[in-house]
Amino acid sequence: MPRRLRLFLFLLAMFGTAAACMTSYSAPPPEPAGSEPTAPALSTALATGTPGLPPVSPTFPSTQAAPAPAIMESRRLTLELPVRIRTGDGDTIRMTLEVDDLGDLTPTAQISGNQVQGQVVQIPNLYETHNVVAEARLDLAGAQVTPVETVSEPLSPGKSVTFFWSIRITEPGIYKGVVWLYMRYVPKNGGPEQRETIAAQLFEIEGVSLLGLKVGPARWLGLAGSFVGSVLGFPFLEDLLRWLWKRRK
């Protein structure tokens, strides 16, 4: 076979192979109009700034500013109670929640035989948006306490509230108790109310009796002593006794 014929056949075979490869290759179908770009395309567009893609801006979760904390109101909590109580007798415990204009916020004193203890408490100033109610309860095991349930008093700005309890002790000994103070906030717009423990004041009261006797015998002994003292203090008692002694002789 001539050399030129072999070269022609070789070129013809190469051209056929190239045509077959071009025919088997098919371009990917175009994306429908209005569809979102795929993740690779979007990444490429962000990296290279390819025109024709929608601008993408980073998004962050929306945050709302936290409400400002309520202004705290300082008040003085004072508890006045007896140091000791004679068995069978009663006495009163008083707790006052007040605003002290003089700045004496922590009193510790003794008034008329009673002990007074106090502390400073912080109350949120929510008077404009809530009805503020002060609640108190006294727990004193082994003693008779009135009232036994939780008592409530409405609280206003700059106004004081006072709670009273009557107690009675029947047996000598040491009685330990606690006075609880709560705050209840009732929204004026009708929302759910909240309750918060403000303070718990611990105290002790000693129950005493006369000469270790029960209340009944102790009272009779006291009456007998009063009678004897009255008789001995009677005028002319000494002259009367002398006259009776001489008459006997």
> CATH code at 205?
2.60.40.10
pLDDT for 209? 84
The residue range of the domain holding 77 is: 72-211
Whether 203 shows a pLDDT value over 50: the answer reads yes
Judge whether 149 lies within some domain.
Answer: yes
Judge whether 12 lies within some domain.
Answer: no
Rounded to an integer, the average pLDDT of 168-180 is 94
pLDDT for 155? 94
pLDDT for 69? 53
Max mean pLDDT range (47-56, 110-119, 222-231): 110-119
Judge whether 133 lies within some domain.
Answer: yes
pLDDT for 197? 95
Query: Taking phi first (over 0 means left), then psi (-120 to 50 degrees means alpha), and beta for anything else, what does residue 224 get?
Result: alpha
Higher-scoring residue by pLDDT: 100, 172 = 172
Helix/strand/coil for 201: strand
Rounded to an integer, the average pLDDT of 200-211 is 88
pLDDT for 143? 94
Which band of pLDDT confidence, cut at 50, 70 and 90, is reported for residue 118?
Answer: confident
Judge whether 242 lies within some domain.
Answer: no
Judge whether 18 lies within some domain.
Answer: no
Judge whether 33 lies within some domain.
Answer: no
Higher-scoring residue by pLDDT: 98, 227 = 98
Judge whether 167 lies within some domain.
Answer: yes
Residues of 19-54 as b/e, b for ≥16 C-beta within 10 angstroms?
Answer: eeeeeeeeeeeeeeeeeebeeeeeeebeeeeeeeee
Average pLDDT, the chain: 74
Judge whether 131 lies within some domain.
Answer: yes
Which band of pLDDT confidence, cut at 50, 70 and 90, is reported for residue 16?
Answer: low
Q: Positive or negative CA dihedral for 104, 153, 192, 201?
A: positive
Whether 95 shows a pLDDT value over 90: the answer reads yes
Nearest Cα to Cα of residue 172 among 203, 214, 138, 136 = 214
CA angle, residues 144, 149, 154, in degrees to nearest 5: 130
Nearest Cα to Cα of residue 135 among 77, 187, 182 = 182
Higher-scoring residue by pLDDT: 178, 209 = 178
Whether 240 shows a pLDDT value over 80: the answer reads no
Whether 70 shows a pLDDT value over 80: the answer reads no
Into how many domains does the chain fold? Answer: 1
Q: Report the 10 Å Cβ neighbour count for 187.
A: 13
